[in-house]
Structure formats: C-alpha cells, structure tokens
C-alpha cells in the first residue's frame, strides 16, 4: 500500500476528484493548505501599505491505495490538476506499513 499526497491548485479539486473516482479511488482526505514553491506569492495593499504575501493557498489531497493502483491514481491526479502554468503543485508517494478500518477492525487492503 502507498500513501499518495498531492498538493494542487484549489480550483482543480473538483477535476481531480472526478478523475480519481474514474480510476476506482473512492476515498480521499482533503485539507486546505498554504505553501510556497517556484510560484511567487502576491502583493496586498491596505491603506497604501504593501504586504508581500509569500504563501499561496493550495489544497492537499491524501489517498491510500493498493500498490497496483498507484500508477493509475498518480497519473489521474497529474492529468487533472495540470494547467501548464507555474504553481500546479506536486504529487508524491510513500509506503504505508498498515491500515485499519475503524468501524470493522479490518486491516490491510480490505480496509481500503
């Protein structure tokens, strides 16, 4: 099993969700995040005082999938989240040791 974490542009969340559903991923966790990369922040002005806002709002998606589904899931995210402009985000994959479904106590791939 693998944990896939994707940082994407907030307005791409719906597209990514649809794409993941299409490749059979039914569960995901979404959180609001902010961060910085090559995409620069923006400037805000309050009564003439300029503030450089470094951190850009992003959405973080986390899913745990079976090893066989990793490639398809990552591919789905990358295609759906791509705009071709700087700041599209990142996707990374790390191994997961174990997983338990809280309701039933099932573990391993049965819990996915």
Q: Which of 11, 26, 50, 85 binds another protein (CB under 8 A)?
A: 50
Work out how close the CB of 44 gets to another protein at its nearest, in angstroms, rounded to a whole number: 7
- Of 22, 28, 112, nearest to 76 by C-alpha is 22
Nearest 5°: the CA angle 28, 30, 34 is 150
Q: How many residues bind another protein (CB under 8 A)?
A: 9
Pick from 26, 31, 32, 48 the residue near another protein by CB under 8 A. Answer: 48
CA distance 33 to 13: 13
Dist CA 5 CA 95 (whole Å):
11
32 makes contact with another protein (CB under 8 A): no
- Please say which residue, 33 or 111, places its beta carbon nearer to another protein: 33
Closer Cβ to another protein, 49 or 68, answer by number: 49
């Amino acid at each position: 099993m693998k944990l896939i974490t994707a940082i994407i542009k907030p307005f791409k969340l719906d597209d990514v969700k649809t794409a993941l559903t299409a490749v059979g991923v039914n569960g995901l966790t979404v959180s609001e995040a902010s961060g910085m990369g090559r995409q620069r922040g923006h400037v805000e002005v309050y009564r003439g005082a300029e503030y450089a806002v470094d951190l850009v709002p992003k959405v973080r998606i986390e899913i745990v999938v079976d090893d066989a589904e990793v490639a398809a899931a990552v591919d789905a995210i990358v295609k759906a989240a791509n705009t071709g402009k700087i700041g599209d985000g990142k996707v990374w994959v790390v191994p997961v040791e174990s997983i338990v479904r809280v309701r039933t106590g099932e573990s391993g791939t049965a819990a996915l």
